[in-house]
Structure 1
Amino acid sequence: MAEISRSELHKLEFPTAVAITNAKHLSSYNWIEAKSPTIVVPGSPALWDPPSRSTRVNKDSGLVYINQNTARHPDFPLEPLFIALYTTQPSFDILSTDVVTDRNNLRKLLAFIGAGDEGDALKPFTFDIEIHKNTALFSRAEASNQEFIRPDEFRGFGHEFEKAYTRNQIDGSTGHHRVISYRFGDMEFIVRHETDGYVGESVKRHRSSIEGNQTDELSSALESLSLASSSSLTNSHGISSRLVVRQEGQTVPLNSTLEIKTRVFRKPISIQEVAPQIWLSQTPKLVRAYHQGGIFQTPQVEDVTQDIQRWQTQNQANLRRLAALIHKILEIVKRCNNRATLRYVCDGDKLVISPLGGRKMLPDHLYLKWEAKPTPPNSA
């Protein structure tokens, strides 16, 4: 259908300076081990709880998720995002959103614009796009959504470090995902991303099952949730979802979340390397953990808010191209019946956009949310 080569990027530039503004936490959830695909809303990230002394950490091994949402719920990988959103905010107006995406898709587009900035060759990538009522859905597509690290392989210590230096707040959790919103350029985004941890107190555990008849008392943080509305998402209109939803945990504020990076001590981790990832999720805190032969000293939690703001200012050329590139992509997709696949092809160093077939990205009942009229504010 269309191609966008890197050599054309100089023609794309948003007309004004760009920044992420009005970042807000919308919802969150944890995947847990269960017979059926099960999320816990709002769940909780793992609590930063480091050992008091230097600690030897095992190398990563076993099952590792690359894209857990698709691995656990392949029929509709974006469904958990929307179910969590409407569980915590039943009257959310999705019509006000221009793009719904995983952070990973935006990272890949930004890497295409600034390939080589992080020192690594850009690898092929793919994601699917569907536009419904002027809201674009970006669905992440990976060659493999999980991998198994054999005992004789070495892939670093990152996953085992997190197990040793953080404490799960949700039993059986295999990952915490946040759903945030912000404005970038002239568009409103909803972005889902995985969160490594948070700093603060342990969360209070309160449970309630949306799918069953259990009605355990909820904490004050969950009192405002509408169980009836949440239940109707999966049970109305004769639609049944394989996704099981439990209410448990407590919302952790965005300003308490952190990103964890590990590396051998002789290779320092620069802000430039991690800035795109942290900027796209507006994560304010960073842990840079260094090891020698798998032995880690206790690292510090850094507030990198100012560093990321400086990076945003210093990288305006690439960020303005990112805003313009997203507009360009959406224009092309609209000309292709609002459904397309975007691929980065190394041969030719270009993005290729082609028609997308197959099923829609969401179950039918979720599309009804675009038809719902926003609840008017109470008159004084």
Structure 2
Amino acid sequence: MAPGTTVTVSRQSLQSDLDPTPAITEVKNLASYSWIEARTPTIAVPGIPPQWVPSKIPRQLPKDSGYVYVAQNAARHPESPLEPLFRALYKTNPEFSISSIDVVSDRNNIRKLFSFVDPSSCTYGLESFTIEVEATKNTVILSRAEVVTREFIGPNDFRGYGHEFEKSHTTCKIKDSTGHHRISSYRFSNLNFIIRYEVDAYVEGSSGKASGSRELDPDVLSSALDSLSVSSSSNVGKATRIPGSRMAIRSEGQVVPPDSILEIKTRAARKPLFLNDVAVQLWVSQTPKLVRAHHRAGRFEEPEVEDVRSRIRSWECENQRALGKLAALIRKIISTVKGFDSRKGVIKYDSIRDTLKITEVNRAPFLPMDLYSKWNDQK
């Protein structure tokens, strides 16, 4: 295609009949990491999410204030927000075959693409968004593009109580941890995905083999547990700089089972949160547990942990047409970007004109050069 080529995609052009029953299957946990507060961008692998410590009595909480992250990976490592994903992946499984993957993305990007194909899924209306994209060999990588990666909530601002609720109902297991991310793979509509997503907390005591749960890959889990279990106190804090990168990694944390992962949502009691409000987010990451914490002017009653796996599977069955269109849109993005001479593009949705465009760009690579060699090393 000619430089600067733009391809416009309409909802009407997306045909969902290529896969009559689009569904997520073959879910595997690949890796995880926690961001560490440090001068150098530092992650702990495998890290560990904060532990859920529910309150048995009502609590009055202050409103959120101070700095909060919108996109922590980009805020902490703006040169390459996707680099931590690959560093954690290859530290956990050095022989991982990246050439078998069709799409690598943050959960947030897939949610945005789904919002385009099904605007009714947006509680507060479909908003404009931008996603950067790059093709490497047969893999297409989607990168979040946020104007603001963290924001300051001033004393006169109101953004709810979500961050204060999480701080009061969870406890960090790693000193100076500021956020935990999990990396999973699965098949969707005959495409192989790697998805990165932030985890709010985990529930202690989950077995990882609950009824109806999708199992971790035993080889990956065994390797992770053998080499990346909780670090001894003598090793904690010893981070290793990565040659050719600004990042550093330290071995610390513990792999937690997939059925222990928890998403936390807060909402005013007068505007209760319905499962459909968060179904897309939970579906993309296959998150099994949800807390819907309702409050009255910041006063929270005892929260309940819900197992939502069966309801998310029901949602998947009820939304086959929209999911088919999502798959068609992703295939369109893949074919379009692979056709660009630069193999780099930007996806922009304009909410005013209700148009989605994929435009070729010339841009610096997403990743450090040593990570691209992982595609070259594999047949």
TM-score normalised by length of structure 2: 0.88
Q: Does 1:234 align with 2:245?
A: no
Q: Secondary structure at the match of 1:326?
A: helix
**Structure 1 pair 221–314 and aligned structure 2 pair: CA distance change class (3 A):** closer
Task: Say if 1:13 and 1:323, in contact at 8 Å, map to a contact too.
Answer: no
Q: State the match for 1:69 in structure 2.
A: 73
Deviation track 1:27-63 (CA, whole Å, cap 9, x = no partner) reads: 0001111111110110001100012211111111110
Aligned counterparts, 1:74-153, within 5 A = 74-153=78-157
Shift of 1:25: 0.6
Q: Does 1:54 align with 2:62?
A: no
Aligned counterparts, 1:218-297, within 5 A = 222-224=225-227, 234-235=242-243, 240-297=244-301
**Structure 1 pair 197–110 and aligned structure 2 pair: CA distance change class (3 A):** same
- Runs of at least 4 residues off by over 6 Å: none
Inter-partner Cα distance in structure 2 for 1:12 and 1:312 = 14
Inter-partner Cα distance in structure 2 for 1:328 and 1:167 = 43
Code of the aligned partner of 2:124: D
Task: Say if 1:118 and 1:272, in contact at 8 Å, map to a contact too.
Answer: no
Shift of 1:13: 4.1
Q: State the match for 1:210 in structure 2.
A: none
- Gaps of at least 5 residues in structure 2 are 1-5, 207-221, 229-238
Aligned counterparts, 1:336-355, within 5 A = 336-337=340-341, 338-355=343-360
Deviation track 1:195-252 (CA, whole Å, cap 9, x = no partner) reads: 00010159xxxxxxxxxxxxxxxx9965436xxxxx99933xxxx2110101101001
Task: Say if 2:16 and 2:321, in contact at 8 Å, map to a contact too.
Answer: no
Q: Secondary structure at the match of 2:87?
A: helix
Shift of 1:293: 1.1
**Structure 1 pair 37–249 and aligned structure 2 pair: CA distance change class (3 A):** same
Code of the aligned partner of 1:234: I
Task: Say if 2:241 and 2:247, in contact at 8 Å, map to a contact too.
Answer: no
- Gaps of at least 5 residues in structure 1 are 203-218, 226-230, 375-380
Code of the aligned partner of 2:227: S
Q: State the match for 2:309 in structure 1.
A: 305
Shift of 1:358: 2.0
Q: State the match for 1:214 in structure 2.
A: none
Q: State the match for 2:363 in structure 1.
A: 358
Task: Say if 1:3 and 1:351, in contact at 8 Å, map to a contact too.
Answer: yes
TM-score normalised by length of structure 1: 0.88
Inter-partner Cα distance in structure 1 for 2:240 and 2:66 = 38
Inter-partner Cα distance in structure 1 for 2:351 and 2:10 = 10
Calculate the aligned-residue CA RMSD, in Å: 1.9
Task: Say if 1:67 and 1:145, in contact at 8 Å, map to a contact too.
Answer: yes
Inter-partner Cα distance in structure 2 for 1:54 and 1:327 = 48
Q: Does 1:32 align with 2:36?
A: yes
Inter-partner Cα distance in structure 2 for 1:370 and 1:103 = 23
Inter-partner Cα distance in structure 2 for 1:8 and 1:94 = 31
